[in-house]
Amino acid sequence: MTTTAPVSPPEAPVARRRLTGPRLARMRDLALVPAIIVLVLVGALIDPVFLSSANITNVLQQQTELSLLVLAEAIILIGGRFDLSLESTVGLAPALAVALVIPAASNGIGTEWASYLAIPLCLLVGLAVGAFNGLLILRFGLSAFIVTLGMLIVLRGLQIGITGGQNLFELPMSVLYLGNAVWLGLPASIWICGILFAIGIAVLGFFRHGRAVYAIGGNRDAARAAGIRVDRVMWTVFIVGGLLAALAGLLMTGRLGSVAAAQGDGMIFTVFAAAVIGGVSMEGGKGTLFGALCGVIVLGLINNILTLAGVSAQWIQAIYGLIILVALMLARLTTGKAQD
């Protein structure tokens, strides 16, 4: 005995009311915008100084080095890898470059190379570190976490070894320039970051090699099958990461007027926080540089507001952490998606 249900007319297929992919992804990108708006409002209420162009410029300039590291880390994370050693490169690259250039009397190594070499040397160190990380991780198949953690320690150790733990403050003019110059009324470092982020967003959004990074992070085997030279692309990414970290070190050196022995120390946590708050996934293949930039700005605003509000030193850290957690929940609520 069989039964037949009334045939429903061959109507249109079940409506697909779900948001389509890119739209959702874009939403996720903008997840932090409400948080930023809330922060700006709160800041303006707390102290009118907050909205002054001088203050905004300061906030932006203070975040430039962090933002370059976040740019580097975000690209590496999107490619499904990891680099902890960036924070040490921020210190070592300028320290080594400067030490090679300045006289021994100012804590240099004694080589006293021509001082115009400082910037190229600094970038070269960053490049070399990135390339070496890439070599160990990609060729020898070592864990990225552990290689770069080891490198984090080794590079910091090298810097202390080379400088004897001294700050270097007799800097060549070229090194000081970038961190201090003002172009068209804005600090040069803001321009540089802006331009690099624009390039990064364009490359990752609109160019084959940039998209390849997403593909690799999303599914390495599939990327390989699609003809992407996975190792070559990732090696480039590590090298770019090292270069960006060296550049960040250069900007920081210029801005602060010396290479501190602890320059960059402890930054990597903040770098990850900004990237992940900005929607870049630790699992690879997900997130955008725009989101990461929003993450950087959120952290910068929180810091600035806490300072302006004069929160007591005793509770400032707890409040800072709490605000980050709340910003995240906000982001979660607005996108409605679980994070990972």
Partner 1 sequence: MTDVLTDAAGSGAAAPPPAVSAHEITKRFGATTALSEVSVSIQAGTTHALVGRNGAGKSTLVSVLTGLQRADEGTVAFGGAPAPAPSDRDGWRRQVACVYQRSTIIPALSVAENLFLNRQTDGGPIKWGGLRRRAGALLEEYGVDVDPGALAGDLNVEQRQLVEIARALSLGTRFIILDEPTARLDATAIERLFGRMRTLAAAGVTMLFISHHLREVYEVCDTVTVLRDARWVLTEPVSAVGHDALVAAMTGEAVKLTEVAPRSVPDAPPVLSLRALTLGDAYTGIDLDLRPGEMVGVTGSGSSGKVSLAETLGGLRRADSGSVSVSGSAVGVGVPAALRAGIGLVPEDRHREGLVPLLSVAENATLPIGDRLGPAGVVVPRRRTAVAEEMVRRYDIRTESAAAPVASLSGGNAQKVVLARALSTDPRVLVLINPTAGVDVRSKESLLGAVRSAADQGTGVLMVSDELDDLRHCDRVLVMFHGRVTATLSRGWDDAQVVAAVEGVTSEGASS
Partner 2 sequence: SSDTGSTGGGGTDAGAAKPPIAVDLPRADSDFWNSYAKYIPEYAKESDINLMTPTNSQNDIAKLVANAQAVTAQGAKAIVMAPQDTGAIASTLTMLESKKIPVISVDTRPDKGKVFMVVRADNRAYGQKACEFLGEKLGGKGKVIEFQGSLSSVNGRDRSEAFAECMKTKFPDITIFEEPTEWEGTKAAAALQTRLAQHPDIKGVYMQAGGVFLAPTLQVLKSKNLLVPPTDPKHIFIVSNDGIPQEFEAIRKGEIDATVSQPADLYAKYAIYYAKAAVEGKTFTPGPTEHDSTIIDVGNGVLEDQLPAPLVTKDNVDDASLWGNQIGK
Looking up tokens 């210190």 gives 91
**Burial (Cβ within 10 Å: 0-12, 13-18, ≥19) of residue 121:** buried
Looking up tokens 């403050």 gives 169
Residue 211 touches partner 1, criterion: CB under 8 A: yes
Kindly tell me which of 141 and 227 has the beta carbon lying closer to partner 1: 227
- Residues contacting a copy of itself: total by CB under 8 A: 49
- Interface residue with a copy of itself among 38, 160, 181, 256 (CB under 8 A) is 160
CB under 5 to 8 A by kind: which of partner 1, partner 2, a copy of itself, none does 199 bind?
none
Q: Is 257:12 a contact under the CB 8 Å cutoff?
A: no
Binding track, positions 267-296, relative to partner 1; x by CB under 8 A: ------------------xx----------
Side chain identity at 262, as an amino acid letter?
A
Helix (H, G, I), strand (E, B) or coil at 250: helix
Binding track, positions 10-29, relative to partner 1; x by CB under 8 A: xx-xxxxxxxxxxxxx----
Q: Is 152:85 a contact under the CB 8 Å cutoff?
A: yes
Span interacting with a copy of itself, options 28-36, 64-72, 119-127, 321-329, rule CB under 8 A: 321-329
DSSP per-residue codes, 88-151: HHHHHHHHHHHHHHS-GGGT--S----GGGHHHHHHHHHHHHHHHHHIIIIIS---HHHHHHHH
Residue 31 touches partner 1, criterion: CB under 8 A: no
Residue 195 touches partner 1, criterion: CB under 8 A: no
Instruction: Report the nearest approach of partner 1 to the CB of residue 255 (Å).
Output: 33
Kindly tell me which of 222 and 333 has the beta carbon lying closer to partner 1: 222
CA distance 286 to 161: 39
Q: Which of 71, 81, 30, 86 is nearest to 269 (CA)?
A: 86
Residue 168 touches partner 2, criterion: CB under 8 A: yes
Residues 280-319 close enough to bind partner 2 by CB under 8 A: 303-304, 307-308, 310-314, 316-317
CA distance 93 to 102: 14
The footprint of partner 2 (CB under 8 A) covers 47-49, 52-55, 57-59, 61-62, 65, 105, 107, 160, 164-169, 179-180, 182, 185, 252, 254-263, 265-266, 303-304, 307-308, 310-314, 316-317
